[in-house]
Structure formats: C-alpha cells, structure tokens
Copies of this chain bind each other. A is one copy, B any other.
Amino acid sequence: MDFSKLNGLVPAVVQDSESREVLMVGFMNEDALARTRETGFVTFFSRSRNELWTKGDTSGNRLQVISLFTDCDDDTVLVKVKRLGGGNVCHTGARSCFFKELA
C-alpha cells in the first residue's frame, strides 16, 4: 500500500458484503490496516483522537471483514464486511453514514 499521499493514511471504504450498501468511509494508517487484517475486524486511525480505534469497541457494532481490496494505485482500501451487533454503523443510529442526499 502507498501511504505517502495522505500523510500516512489511506481512505477505507466500508461496504456491506451482502446488500452492497456503502456504510461509511474512514482512514487507515499502516498499523490500522495491519490490525484489521490480523483481527478480522475493521480498525481505523482516528484523525481527531490520533489513535487506532476498532469500530464497535464501545457500541458492539463491530464490522467483520469478509474481504479486503486495494485499488489500482494502492492508495485506497475497500473492505466488504458483515455488520455485527445492532448493525447500525453510523453514530447517529443509522445503518449507513450516507443518509443525507444533496438536493
């Protein structure tokens, strides 16, 4: 992976492996990607808290990795997941973070 274009980070798109709904986008650094692959649960790097966070650690709504892809120039990750817990990915309680359509 090429982490050089974005100060050590790559965008990580999370997609429901069954419904194919795009659930959220976070960022991963090298450690977050390694942790994601080792544990099988999606781990991001929090830009605001400057630390790793495994999605769902507090809510229980973890994201289980089903498959993991990189793009053609290795600067973006696509993670296909199974939603665990209540299955609501967004902190607002919505299933997906992309619930606001621009007019």
- Interchain CB contact under 8 A, B72 and A97: yes
- Interchain CB contact under 8 A, A69 and B47: no
A-B contact pairs, 27 of them (CB 8 A): A5-B47, A11-B25, A13-B13, A13-B25, A15-B22, A20-B20, A20-B21, A22-B22, A22-B78, A24-B71, A25-B71, A37-B102, A67-B101, A68-B101, A69-B99, A69-B100, A69-B101, A70-B102, A71-B90, A71-B98, A72-B91, A72-B92, A72-B94, A72-B99, A72-B100, A73-B97, A78-B98
Interface residues of A (CB under 8 A from B): 5-6, 11, 13, 15, 19-22, 24-25, 37, 47, 67-74, 76, 78, 90-92, 94, 97-102
